[in-house]
């Protein structure tokens, strides 16, 4: 069965931009997905990836911005450029300009890697 990666990626990005991150994760990520931050050790399997997302969003006090700047698709790969701005419960603030690179198979994300330079301002 053929899947329209551009359409799937557009729908995934729209859900993320509207704040439905966990719903998008459950809908669009494969059970054996792998996610990786920069060159850090990858998280393997949907349960490990889910827990990382739950922990991250649980540490956020306020979500200021999640803006999709652009995206592109080539075959089974999609690329999205984002700006995220959040304040954490410890008072620190992170504003990241990042690119997510996804690989798709059978209509699901099987691998996603995030590329960014961490930009965290400590709490006062």
Residue-wise pLDDT tens digits, 76-116: 999 999 999 999 999 999 999 999 999 999 999 999 999 99
Percent of the chain topping pLDDT 90: 90
Q: What's the burial of 110, exposed, middle or buried (CB within 10 Å: 0-12/13-18/19+)?
A: middle
> Region 67-74: what's the mean pLDDT?
97
User: Is the pTM higher than 0.95?
Assistant: no
Confidence of residue 119 (pLDDT cuts 50, 70, 90): confident
Residue 63 C-beta-side C-alpha neighbours within 13 Å: 14
pLDDT at 1: 61
- Give me the residue spans of the domains in the chain: 5-121
Interior/surface letters 76-106, b for 16+ CB within 10 angstroms, e for the rest: eebebebebbbbeeeeebbeeebebebbbee
pLDDT value for 101: 99
Q: What integer pLDDT is reported at residue 120 of this predicted model? A: 78
Instruction: Give me the chain's average pLDDT, please.
Output: 95
Q: Has residue 34 got a pLDDT over 80? A: yes
5-121 placed in CATH 3.40.50.10860: no
Averaged pLDDT, 7-27? 96
Q: Give the Cβ contact number of residue 69 at 10 Å.
A: 11
């Amino acid at each position: 069965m053929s899947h329209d990666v551009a359409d799937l990626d557009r729908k995934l990005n729209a859900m993320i931009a509207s704040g439905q991150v966990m719903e998008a994760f459950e809908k669009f990520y494969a059970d054996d997905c792998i996610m990786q931050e920069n060159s850090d050790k990858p998280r393997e399997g949907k349960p490990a990836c889910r827990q990382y997302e739950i922990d991250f969003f649980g540490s956020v006090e306020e979500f200021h911005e999640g803006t999709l700047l652009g995206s592109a698709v080539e075959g089974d790969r999609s690329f999205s450029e984002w700006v995220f701005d959040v304040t954490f419960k410890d008072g620190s603030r992170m504003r990241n300009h990042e690119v997510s690179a996804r690989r798709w198979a059978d209509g699901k994300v099987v691998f996603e890697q995030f590329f960014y330079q961490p930009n965290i301002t400590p709490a006062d």
